[in-house]
Structure 1
């Protein structure tokens, strides 16, 4: 997969810090660096960053996931690499719905996975999840974004794996993570959209690696990040 179109490629020599991850704010109020969104490599562990307040919140968000296919799968019989993007919806700390490769849309249709890529073939994002926050019922309070390696390869063995979030109103990428720093991990919690006390949808980065090959295996590991 061609990654030449990446925004602000990460300098391999630069240290990764969770505190550097930019929280998703509209362009006019979000601090920008180097003319675009910060890009960061996933660390094994890191603290949850605090969400920043903004005046409008989010209305439409797209999650993108991309990776390169196994280069030697044709020669040595190595299995394909199948990463999964998932959006887990919660009411308080209780799971309400899940959108992933076995359920392509939430019950209300507000969250949709636009197809399941099982090899990493193709340019750009291999999987996309769209979230229409204006259509979510008031009982849904949190949307967590999770990546899992369905075929079990740890992120450290997968080439050019990344995930990102885009503000659908401005078409602005506001969070991006390179997954090759996850080493032996098979799961990654990007962050969460949550309803503020004022009823706005805000984003809080989490950037934590977990062990999970299936989104169901990730559910209980999300408890520390729920109200």
Structure 2
């Protein structure tokens, strides 16, 4: 049975409570899901009208032993503003596969429509170079500030880890958290090496910015 994590809680991805290796970490899927809250009021109840589409993006930072993103990749700028990073240790919608080939984003869901995971980041933990000691998973609302959107308007937001055989290892839910009001980005969770194993920690640290590059500065 998968463990429903609370904020700050940590589990060992490889072993159960008895120290047994029960998960296949040759490939781990980090799944992100969300639903947009229906508009309230009389007409909202009658027509079940949905709010404007929300585009949540799953992002991964690969960190070294010092907790830093060493290779931020190549940068494209326009009018003096950085508009794209690629081929570095940041995996996101404009750079969907890590140069190692062991971490990749499966796609960019721009609405949250459908059941289950809306976006997935795949990680081959057992093949990842030792220089990578931690992977931080971020979620941001694309143009959330411009569109007056924030996490307080979203329901059923979760992140989960699934092993190579499809077994759900753990799940972390942020539904009904009032601290998400006005927040457009979040450090959701992290996977990190510890004594030869991989552990997974639920973080749930909100940020007002809708640009993950602002969060990346903390890890640079």
TM-score for both structures, normalised by structure 2: 0.70
Compared CA separation, residues 193 and 55, structure 1 to 2 (3 A) = farther
Given candidates 152, 155, 161, the residue that maps to 2:151 is: 155
Q: Supply the distance in 2 between the matched residues of 1:25 and 1:134 (Cα, whole angstroms).
A: 12
Residue matched to 1:185: 183
Give the match's secondary structure for 1:191: strand
- 1:143, distance to aligned residue in structure 2 (A): 0.4
Q: Residue 61 of structure 1 aligns with which residue?
A: 28
Q: Which runs of 5+ in 1 are unaligned?
A: 1-6, 11-15, 31-53
User: What is residue 75 of structure 2 aligned with on the other side?
Assistant: none
Q: Distance in 2 between matches of 1:179 and 1:98?
A: 27
**What does residue range 19-168 of structure 1 map to in structure 2 within 5 Å?**
21=9, 23-26=11-14, 28-29=16-17, 58-69=25-36, 71=38, 79-91=52-64, 92-95=66-69, 96=71, 97-152=89-144, 153-168=149-164
Task: Indicate the larger mover: 111-120 or 61-70.
Answer: 61-70
Gaps of 5+ in 2: 40-47, 72-88
Task: Please point out which of 200, 207, 211 is paired with 1:210.
Answer: 207
1:199 to 185, 196, 201: 196
The CA distance in 2 between the partners of 1:79 and 1:102, in whole Å, is: 23
What is the alpha-carbon distance in structure 1 between the residues aligned to residue 50 and residue 204 of structure 2? 33
Higher strand share: 2
Q: CA RMSD in A?
A: 3.3
Corresponding residue of 2:45: none
Distance 2:139 2:35 in 1: 15
**TM-score after normalising by structure 1:** 0.68
Which residue of structure 2 aligns with residue 51 of structure 1? none
